[in-house]
Each structure stands twice: as C-alpha cells, then as structure tokens.
A and B are shown apart, each in its own frame.
Chain A
Amino acid sequence: MHELSLAEAILPSVLAIAEEHRARVMSLTIQAGALQMIVAESLAMGFLAVAEGTAAEGARLIVEPVAVTARCRRCELVFGVEDSIFLCPDCHVADAETVTGNELVLLRVELEPCESMSSTTS
C-alpha cells in the first residue's frame, strides 16, 4: 500500500490542529476500513518520517480497524463480510453496497500544550 503518501496526506491536518491549539501532538488515531488494506506499522513508521521536525515529531499513530459490512441491494439485509465474500446470506448473490470497510479517517488527536508557546500566553 501507499502508506507513506497517506502519512503525507494526514500530516497537514494534524499540524493545523496542533497550531490552532498551540500544542504538540502526542498521538493521533486513524480509522481504517479493512478494504483499504492499510499496514498499521508502515503507516505509523511513515508518519514518524514525515513528521520529523514538526509539532507532530515522535507522535504515536494508532490505527483503529473497521470490519467490512455490506447491504444487499435486493433484500436490504446488512451482513458481515469475511474473506472478501460479499454474497448475501439470504439471496446468495453479490449485489451489495459496502456499508463499512472503506473508511480512511483522521478520528482524533491527543495534544499536549507546547511549553514555549504556553509560557508566552500565561
């Protein structure tokens, strides 16, 4: 997967939040659907690399996985998808839209006030 370019896409949003709160980033949580095939370790390592020298340097990137579910277009049944089998258990046809599993979302950021900045504001 393209974990490094995803890390690059995540960084500006995280830095904007850090700047807004005049804080350093301690950790961030990414929600990743199983269909994205994200390798959590690679994304965390990629983020460490791109965040070097920024307010997010050394921040821990946590990946929160989301299982795949789908809704049958024929009978509306929502079912869990395992081993990439999108067959509706009732209709036995794979005519289903993905409900969850495609997510790639920055969910939350943990911040710690930046000392140099907080001293100027206090």
Chain B
Amino acid sequence: MRVDVVHNVLKLNDALAQQIRADLRGRGIFCPNLISSPGSGKTTLLERTLEHFRGTWGQAVIVGDLATSRDAERLAEYAQTVQINTDGGCHLDAAMVANAMPHLDLDGVDVLYIENVGNLVCPVGYDLGHDAKVALISVTEGEDKVAKYPRLWREADVVLLTKADLLQYVPFDVARFYEDLRALNGTVPVLEVSSMTGQGMDAWFEWLTARRESPNAQEPAA
C-alpha cells in the first residue's frame, strides 16, 4: 500500500522557530544568527560588538559548541550568556534555543545574538526563530569556501569578510571571492572587517543598528 504525504521534514523545527520569532518580536528583541566555519572569528566579533553597544542596548548571547563552555566564559564578561553544548551535534535547532531561553533574563534585552556551531553546512538548514542570518568568512579560510558551500551565501542577510587586516599576508583572492559570491547572491551586503584592528567595524555596527530598527524589512530564509 502506498501513502502519499508531502510534508516538510523539518516542520516541527520550523513551527517552534516561528513561536520563538513571535515571542522575541513581541518583546521587541532583535535576533541575529551568526554562522561560519570554526575559527572564522564569530566569538571575537561578538566580544567587540557587545563592548561597542554596552550601555546602548540590553544584550544577551546564546552560543553553541560541540563541547566546553569556553566561548560563554569569554562572552559572559560583556553580557549574559548561555552555552549550549550539542554533544557532537553539528548545528543548533529551534528546540535547543527554546530550552536555552529560560536561562536568560530577557527583560530589558534589545538584541539576542545566537552564535551557531562552527559549520558552513548544517546550521543553514535550521530556522532558530532569528531575524537575520549573519555569514562570516575569514580571509585565512580561502575564497573557495563560497563556491564550495553555496547555500549559506544564498541565504545570508549580510556577509562579513573577517580578519581583513591579514589580507596582506595570505593568498586570499579577493576578486575571485566577490566573483563567486556575486554569482550566488548579487544583492547581499558585504562588509570587510577586522575585530583586531577595528577596520570596517563601524559599518557592521551601522548594519546591526539599521536592521534592528526594521527587522521585518526582509523575512529571513529559514
């Protein structure tokens, strides 16, 4: 006997993500989801970002890693932080975020950052209830990561080219990077930044500020 069904494999995740999004928007909280490979500078970018907006916004962080609470210990110096250990899982899902949220005092929070597990593939498929996907690629990874892992760059709301201060030392082909990225996504804003020197960071802070003011401007791709 054959039964035709046609239903989304991730419908439970997506339904929970919509609840999280509605909850956060109801509280006026903007939620960016940071996705990149391990070591591209998500945590350091967040440290500089939390520092910059301290006193301006109430901020909180949910950070995912396979193991250890090292990132949460770093970020807790700047804002309340919850660490999710996925125990080998390659991505965060909406249930993990929903379970982490009660560990934060969200009263007075304006921005809840989610630092996803370092991985260019799996985190892209899971809606977490975020307002925007922030994709990072560091110059030390090589420009070919754009063409090799296409989906993230398709769905990103902003792309940060991190460790830009190291461009002079590494053979990162900037022209090829833009060529590959523009073949995937001709409209996504690209910001060249360095958390170490501060290069380009004002543009990132401006993007966050503008996007927080109009999170509904663009519905995020799941």
Main secondary structure of the interface of B (DSSP, over half): mixed
Tell whether B106 is near chain A: CB-to-CB under 8 Å: no
Taking A5-B89, A6-B9 as contacts, is the C-beta distance between A95 and B3 under 8 angstroms?
Answer: no
- Complex: A109 Cα to B7 Cα, angstroms: 12
**Chain B CB within 8 A of A122 CB:** no
Q: Which residues of A lie under 8 Å from residue B8 when comparing CB positions? A: 104-105
For A113, the closest partner residue in chain B by CB is: B1
Q: Is B121 an interface residue (CB 8 A)?
A: yes
Q: Are B90 and A93 in touch, CB under 8 angstroms? A: no
Q: Is the CB of A36 within 8 A of B6?
A: no
Q: In whole Å, how far is A50's beta carbon from the nearest beta carbon of chain B?
A: 13
A-B contact count (CB 8 A): 91
**Contact residues in A for B5 (Cβ distance below 8 Å):** 13, 17, 106-109
Does B143 make an interface contact (CB < 8 A)? Answer: no
Residues of B within 8 A of A52 (CB): none
Tell me which of A1, A10, A84, A108 contacts B9 (CB under 8 A).
A10
CB neighbours (8 Å) of B13 from chain A are 9
Q: Complex formed: what's the CA distance from A96 to B9 in Å?
A: 25
Q: How far is the CB of B95 from chain A (nearest CB, A)?
A: 11
Would A23 and B154 count as touching, CB distance under 8 A? no
Give the number of residues in B that approach A within 8 Å (Cβ atoms): 29
Q: Which residue of chain B has the shortest Cβ distance to A92 in the bound complex?
A: B186
- How many whole Å from B150's CB to the nearest CB in chain A? 4
Residue in B1, B90, B122, B150 whose CB lies within 8 Å of A35: B150
Q: Is the CB of B4 within 8 A of A107?
A: yes
With A2-B90, A98-B154 as given contacts, are A110 and B9 in contact (CB-CB < 8 Å)?
no
- State whether the Cβ of B182 lies closer than 8 Å to any Cβ in chain A: yes
A111 within 8 A of B: yes
The distance in angstroms between the C-alpha atoms of A113 and B186, with both chains bound, is 52
Most buried by A among B9, B121, B122, B147: B9
Judge whether A87 is part of the interface by a CB distance below 8 angstroms: yes
**Taking A1-B121, A23-B1 as contacts, is the C-beta distance between A106 and B184 under 8 angstroms?**
no
Q: List 24 A-B contacts (CB under 8 A).
A: A1-B121, A1-B122, A2-B121, A5-B89, A9-B13, A10-B9, A13-B7, A13-B9, A35-B150, A83-B147, A84-B183, A86-B154, A87-B183, A94-B186, A95-B187, A105-B6, A106-B6, A107-B4, A107-B6, A108-B4, A109-B2, A110-B1, A112-B1, A113-B1
